[in-house]
Amino acid sequence: MQAETREQWQSQIGFLLSCVGSIVGLGTLWRLPYIMGQNGGGAFICLFLLFNLLVGIPLFAAELVLGRAGRRGSIGIFARLSAPNSAWVCLGWLNAAGALLVFSWYSVVAGWGFHYLLMALTDALHGKSAAQVGELFDLFRGSGQLNLLFQVMFLITVAVLVLPGIASGIERYSRFMSLGLFAVLLGLVGYSCTLKGFSQAVHYALYPNFAALSAHGALKALGLSLFSLSLGFGMTLTYGSYMKPTEDIPKVSLAIGAANLLVTVLIALMIFPMIFTFGFEPQDGEGLIFKTLPFVFGQLPASLLLSLLFFMLLLFTALTSAVAMLEALVANLMDLRGWSRGRCVLCGCLAGWVIGLPTAVVDLFPTWSYIYGRDFFATIDLLTDWMLVVAALATAIFVGWKLDATVRHEGFVAGSRLTWLYQPWLFFIRFVVPCCVVVILLQYLGLLWFV
Amino acid sequence: MSSTRETWKSNLGFVLAAAGSAIGLGAIWRLPYTMGQNGGGAFILLFLLLNFVVGVPLFMAELVLGRSGQRGTVSCFRRFAATGSMWVAGGWLAAAAALLILGWYCVVAGWGIHYTLMALVDAFAGKSADQVAQLFHAFRASGLLNVLFQSLFLLLTALIVSRGLAAGIERYSRVMTLGLFAMLLCLVLYGAMLPGFAQAVRYIFVPNWSAITPATVLEALGLALFTLSLGYGPIITYGSYMKPSQNIPQTSLIIGVANFAVSLLIAMAIFPLIFSFGFAPTAGEGLVFQILPFVFEQLPMAMLLCVLFFALLIFTSLTSAISFLEVLVTNCMDLLNWSRQRSVWVGCAAAFVVGLPTALAPSGNLFGLWPDIYGKSFLETSNVVINWLTAFAALITSLFVGWHLPNHIRHEGFCSGSHWGKLYVAWLWCVRVVVPFAVSMILSWHCGLFEPFLRAF
């Protein structure tokens, strides 16, 4: 009965922007452009586009179909669409667990965004050398209290955005922030065009260099087509569950895939000119965002404005994704426990806070790095990668082979004029996606090795 | 709701409350110094001009918005904006600024209580300047003492605000602001008898035109806004309790003049003391808590002077702090439908938490690394953030009142109770164009956009 009164997205554009916001995350900002550049630029983009069409987007559409047909949180969806007591419900739990883990480290890392926003406001980075900027980051990382402060600040912000519900909370704010993200991104790209490293950056990021494209790079493109669309964390499932039957899933999925690629290219065109102008090597990860770029901003004219804009962009990116993760948890809690939204938001944030603690306070488990060979943060990252791949494989099999054929067909074509895409899509979901994901899995297991 | 809203009992009470809110710690420890350093009389003229072209019009705009809205800051914007519109951000920014500033006000005003206590027990007697300065550091290093006085001051603020508008805020603001004037006059008279008085007058009033640079102009512009409590929400909130029969243009002008006069008087109270003992003029906590206690001790009637001065400090901060708390309280009452009591205690709890890092800063127990990372103490950092918040809030308010508020409401709001209707058009264009332009100048300056230009000077 609850399904009948479930909230819905108010407008298609709001839904699109919320989805784009949810998949454009920190990874898009700090990893994607780098991998693109290292693996042959334009050549990699072609391959990435291809895998997106073959694997990523079909799976994305599959999650939306599942969500819209299930009209619940990730766990409820699989409980409703599979046989009673079937083991497929575990897949819903896997999705929820993935969302929780990613949410927890997001809350910490995006909290650093607040920290840097504050640093920008107080002009604390102005005139510092690259080494000093790096030291400041390490100093900040060592202070558990400060990390906790900003983590809590970020969690409160996310909670405030999710609290009013789908249409008046998530949709409204995601729409605003995603548009803001595009605007700021375009502004910064415009600025980067005027830098002298721009042509080198264009060459690095876009020139199709097929010689630099190895089999390993191809596998990366395959993996990224999954990761960059945030599949397997329950976010798309949950967002899909609020869709109207009149909305066009195939079209929406294609549009979102295209927007994702566009944003990635724009981010590359924003970051690399700055990096190259100051003679840095391309790199990825936190070092790029929190050490190199702040230094670069400090050297450019209007540094305060630049760093403000950039860290606002970082926050918008992180917030629109974190909102989706929290909603994935909240939707599940509301289904399973029948709690009010406010209570679920509170519980979701508390859970995210507790799991994020070891990331925020590095000396909580002092021997973690020694024992696991990587810090807690990197461990979670790796763990979620695993969960994502397994969840993607299982979702493809579930939709392709287990889901009731009428539900699947109805779910895909409802509201769409692209009905001819159904057969190709089904073929991809049944054969291509599982095969590709198995290849990724084999690579993860170390069974597939390219020299 | 709006029909049963409390109103000010008398116009004088409102003027004194608004003036008390606008005259804050900054007026004591920053404004006089800034005047002296930036060209004395030349800066004063500039400040006066900007005060009346930018500060006072925006002050009127906030009063008009408050009186037409009859609510707290957020709801005032919400009432005249479309649902879900971004204008409402102006109200939220103001509320956030009020919370942040209330946080550190309670700590610093708590030091005022501590110093009154020290003066009463004659703790400064026979101490050298260094020893007096040392006492301040020793006190700051004790987190527990800081928290004690912070809580004491918060409690005072809460007690006043919890009694409501007429019986609490108006009544006590009136007494305290009048007391402040009286004490200030005593101190100025006393200062006039000191040997450093002539030097102080020269320092404050003799115009030094060469000190006027674009940076000085922007400095004066910032002061013209921020010494009138604009952008924090107290004026909108106090305006929301105004009767239709009250004269907004006239009252605003009076408050603008009073505020300016008080700044001058404070300068004339403090600098004779400083110059008589050969100190260089400074600003900030060092001036109030390290130099002045020592100076008082050297003068006749030391204890009386000292108690008088720190009582003045407490009164100044208390009249401001209650207005900041009232901003939070009215917002809580409107948005969450809480009772006044509950809103007061929640507001105080929030301010207590926000103030903790400042109270505990030198003890190193909370955010010990803050100055190393940000290059500023927590208090200074929050001031930077407050400046940004208030600048944006002021910008949004002026645009909102100037361009978005329905014509008849704006006109009615300005002219109601006033025979100064012919000023309306001049005021309107000040609010529409001059104020936003001035505030954007300040913002661009903060952003460093003028750096290359300023370097040329």
Residue to test with chain B: of A133, A137, A146, most B Cβ within 10 A: A146
Find the chain B residues whose C-beta atoms sit closer than 8 A to any C-beta of A. Answer: 84, 86, 366-370, 372-376, 380-381, 384-385, 388, 446-449, 451-452
C-alpha torsion sign, points B372, B375, B379, B381: negative
Considering CB atoms only, which of A122, A168, A305 is closest to B448? A305
Please report residues of B whose CB lies closer than 8 A to that of A303. 448
Nearest chain A residue to B83 by CA: give it. A168
Q: Which of A393-407, B119-133, B260-274 has the highest mean pLDDT?
A: A393-407
Q: Do A172 and B373 touch (CB under 8 A)?
A: no
**What does DSSP assign to residue B306?**
H
CB-count burial class (<10 Å; 0-12, 13-18, 19+) for B163: middle
**What does DSSP assign to residue A7?**
-
Note whether A53 contacts B: Cβ–Cβ < 8 A.
no
Residue to test with chain B: of A115, A123, A156, A171, most B Cβ within 10 A: A123
* pLDDT on residue B85: 82
CB-count burial class (<10 Å; 0-12, 13-18, 19+) for A141: middle
The C-alpha atoms of residue A404 and residue A82 are separated, in whole angstroms, by 9
* pLDDT on residue B96: 95
Please report residues of A whose CB lies closer than 8 A to that of B369. 139-140, 142-143, 146
Residue B373 distance to chain A (closest CA, Å): 6
Q: Which helix (H) or strand (E) holds A244?
A: none
* pLDDT on residue A1: 40
* pLDDT on residue B188: 92
Residue A146 distance to chain B (closest CA, Å): 6
Q: Do A124 and B373 touch (CB under 8 A)?
A: yes
pLDDT band at B2 (very low <50, low <70, confident <90, very high): very low
Considering CB atoms only, which of B369, B381, B452 is closest to A143? B369
- Residue A435 confidence (pLDDT) above 90: yes
Please report residues of A whose CB lies closer than 8 A to that of B373. 119, 124, 136, 139-140, 143, 146
* pLDDT on residue B145: 92
Nearest chain A residue to B374 by CA: give it. A124
Please report residues of B whose CB lies closer than 8 A to that of A122. 374-376, 380-381, 384
Nearest chain A residue to B369 by CA: give it. A143
Nearest chain B residue to A144 by CA: give it. B367
Burial letters for A35-73: b for 16+ Cβ neighbours within 10 Å, e otherwise?
bbbbbbbbbbbebbbebbebbbbbbbbbbbbbbbbbbbb
ipTM computed for the complex:
0.81
DSSP assignment string, A256-292? HHHHHHHHHHHHHHHHHHHHHHTTPPP--SHHIIIII
For the entire predicted model, the pTM comes to 0.88
Cβ within 8 Å of residue B226, ≥6 positions away: B26, B387, B390
Q: What are phi and psi of A123, to 5 degrees?
A: 60, 30
Residue to test with chain B: of A145, A151, A153, most B Cβ within 10 A: A145
Query: Are the beta carbons of A147 and A360 closer than 8 angstroms?
Result: yes
* pLDDT on residue B452: 67
Query: Are the beta carbons of B23 and B183 closer than 8 angstroms?
Result: no
Please report residues of A whose CB lies closer than 8 A to that of B380. 122
Any idea which residue has 């702040």 for tokens?
A294
Cβ within 8 Å of residue B373, ≥6 positions away: A119, A124, A136, A139, A140, A143, A146
Considering CB atoms only, which of B367, B381, B449 is closest to A122? B381
Q: How far is CA A148 from CA A14, A99, A325, in A?
A: 32, 20, 20
Q: What is the pLDDT of residues A110-143, one digit of tens each?
A: 999 999 999 888 888 887 888 898 899 999 988 8
Considering CB atoms only, which of B86, B375, B452 is closest to A122? B375
**What does DSSP assign to residue B337?**
-
CB-count burial class (<10 Å; 0-12, 13-18, 19+) for A130: middle
Q: Do B446 and A304 touch (CB under 8 A)?
A: yes
Q: Do B449 and A308 touch (CB under 8 A)?
A: no
Q: What are phi and psi of A41, to 5 degrees?
A: 50, -115
Please report residues of B whose CB lies closer than 8 A to that of A172. 84
Q: Do B447 and A305 touch (CB under 8 A)?
A: yes
**What does DSSP assign to residue A41?**
B
User: Residue A38 is encoded by which pair of tokens?
Assistant: 């290292």
Residue B369 distance to chain A (closest CA, Å): 7
Q: Do B84 and A172 touch (CB under 8 A)?
A: yes
* pLDDT average, residue stretch B274-297: 85
3 state SS of A208: strand
How remote is the C-alpha of B171 from its chain's centroid?
19
pLDDT band at B97 (very low <50, low <70, confident <90, very high): very high
pLDDT band at A326 (very low <50, low <70, confident <90, very high): very high
Please report residues of B whose CB lies closer than 8 A to that of A119. 373-374
- Residue A209 confidence (pLDDT) above 60: yes
Note whether A436 contacts B: Cβ–Cβ < 8 A.
no
Q: What is the pLDDT of residues A264-305, one digit of tens each?
A: 889 989 998 998 998 888 877 788 888 888 898 888 878 888
Note whether A206 contacts B: Cβ–Cβ < 8 A.
no
Give chain A's end-to-end CA distance (angstroms, integer). Answer: 56
Q: How far is CA A280 from CA A273, A275, A384, A433, B222, in A?
A: 10, 5, 30, 38, 39
The C-alpha atoms of residue A267 and residue B284 are separated, in whole angstroms, by 44
**What does DSSP assign to residue B433?**
I
Residue B451 distance to chain A (closest CA, Å): 8
The angle that helices B11-22 and B171-192 make with each other, rounded to 10 degrees, is 60
Q: Do A122 and B374 touch (CB under 8 A)?
A: yes
Query: Are the beta carbons of A26 and A106 closer than 8 angstroms?
Result: yes
Q: Do A302 and B448 touch (CB under 8 A)?
A: yes
* pLDDT on residue A38: 81
* pLDDT average, residue stretch A226-241: 90
Q: Which of left, alpha, beta for B242 (phi over 0: left; psi -120 to 50: alpha)?
A: beta
Considering CB atoms only, which of A123, A143, A305 is closest to B449? A305
Rounded percentage of chain B residues whose pLDDT exceeds 70? 98
* pLDDT on residue A3: 47
The C-alpha atoms of residue B238 and residue B231 are separated, in whole angstroms, by 13
Helix then strand count (H, E) for chain A reads: 23, 0
Note whether A323 contacts B: Cβ–Cβ < 8 A.
no
User: Residue A86 is encoded by which pair of tokens?
Assistant: 């079937």
* pLDDT average, residue stretch A427-441: 92
* pLDDT on residue B454: 64
Residue A78 distance to chain B (closest CA, Å): 36
Query: Are the beta carbons of B27 and B269 closer than 8 angstroms?
Result: no
Q: Do B368 and A305 touch (CB under 8 A)?
A: no
- Residue A210 confidence (pLDDT) above 90: no
pLDDT band at B1 (very low <50, low <70, confident <90, very high): very low
Q: Do B373 and A136 touch (CB under 8 A)?
A: yes
Residue to test with chain A: of B87, B374, B377, most A Cβ within 10 A: B374
Which is nearest to A39 in space by CA: A189, A185, A221?
A221
- Residue B455 confidence (pLDDT) above 70: no
Residue A151 distance to chain B (closest CA, Å): 14
Residue A179 distance to chain B (closest CA, Å): 14
Please report residues of B whose CB lies closer than 8 A to that of A361. none
Q: Which of A23-27, A416-420, B85-89, B112-116 has the highest mean pLDDT?
A: B112-116
Residue B330 distance to chain A (closest CA, Å): 20
pLDDT band at B447 (very low <50, low <70, confident <90, very high): confident
**What does DSSP assign to residue B278?**
T
Considering CB atoms only, which of A121, A139, A308 is closest to B373? A139
Q: Do B448 and A143 touch (CB under 8 A)?
A: no
Please report residues of A whose CB lies closer than 8 A to that of B381. 118, 122
DSSP assignment string, A136-172? HHHHHHH-HHHHHHHHHHHHHHHHHHHTT-IIIIIIH
Please report residues of B whose CB lies closer than 8 A to that of A142. 369
The C-alpha atoms of residue A374 and residue A378 are separated, in whole angstroms, by 6
Angle at B9 between CA B7 and CA B10, to 5 degrees: 120
Please report residues of A whose CB lies closer than 8 A to that of B86. 176
| CB neighbourhood size of B196 (10 A) | 19
* pLDDT on residue A81: 92
* pLDDT average, residue stretch B94-115: 94
**What does DSSP assign to residue A44?**
H
* pLDDT average, residue stretch B376-400: 90
Length of chain B: 457
Mean of per-residue pLDDT scores for chain B: 89
List for chain B the helix, strand, coil content (%; round to 5): 80, 0, 20
Note whether A148 contacts B: Cβ–Cβ < 8 A.
no
